[in-house]
Amino acid sequence: MKKFHSLLLLPCLILLLNGCATPWPESFSYTMKPGWVSIEIREGVSYERAWNTVFQFLSRDFDMAAVLREEGYLQTAWLNTWSGTYQDNYKVRVTIRFSSDRRSIQLRTEAWTFIEGKWYIGTDSRLMSTLKTDLMGTVGRTTR
């Protein structure tokens, strides 16, 4: 009888754990409106250098959809291969805008995931973290 209970408990536990799992990628965070992250540009870094650095970082992985240098605005095209493999059901893009005084960068990542016939909007934490680290290490002001 004890063995029967153990055999019955295992499938129930598996079903319970599967029911709690999220259907989207681990780095995806569901949100109705992806927010902006601000990065202050380090003292002595010109707008020209900051712009070129940001453009180089984005263009190594993304095609560009909008490049407005005078306005300080960049937006990438949607990318279905951020995870390293092509995914029909997951795509990301990045938007960057410089402040009007050119002393800070606003960064936003957007992600869309398609689950059970519906698209969900959110942000990709891994993409945000990677870009923020890259930009802070090259043009961003260090924190103490």
Domain annotation for the chain: domains and CATH numbers: 23-138 (3.30.530)
User: How would residue 144 be classed by pLDDT, with cut points 50, 70 and 90?
Assistant: very low
> 43-67 burial, b if ≥16 CB within 10 A, otherwise e?
eebeeeebbebbeebbeeebeeeee
Interhelix angle 125-138/47-61, rounded to 10 degrees, is 140
User: How would residue 92 be classed by pLDDT, with cut points 50, 70 and 90?
Assistant: very high
Extended strands (E) in 31-117:
37-40, 64-68, 73-76, 90-98, 104-115
Range with top average pLDDT, 5-9, 108-112, 136-140: 108-112
Q: What pLDDT score does 35 carry?
A: 84
What tens digit of pLDDT does each residue of 13-54 get?
444 444 444 566 777 877 777 789 999 999 999 999 999 999
Contacts of 95 (CB under 8 A, 6+ apart): 73, 74, 75, 76, 107, 108, 110
Do 16 and 22 meet the contact criterion of CB atoms below 8 Å apart?
Answer: no
Long-range contacts of 9-12 (CB under 8 A, 24+ apart): none
Q: Which residue has the tokens 């003292």?
A: 43
Query: Rg (Cα) of the chain, in Å, rounded?
Result: 21
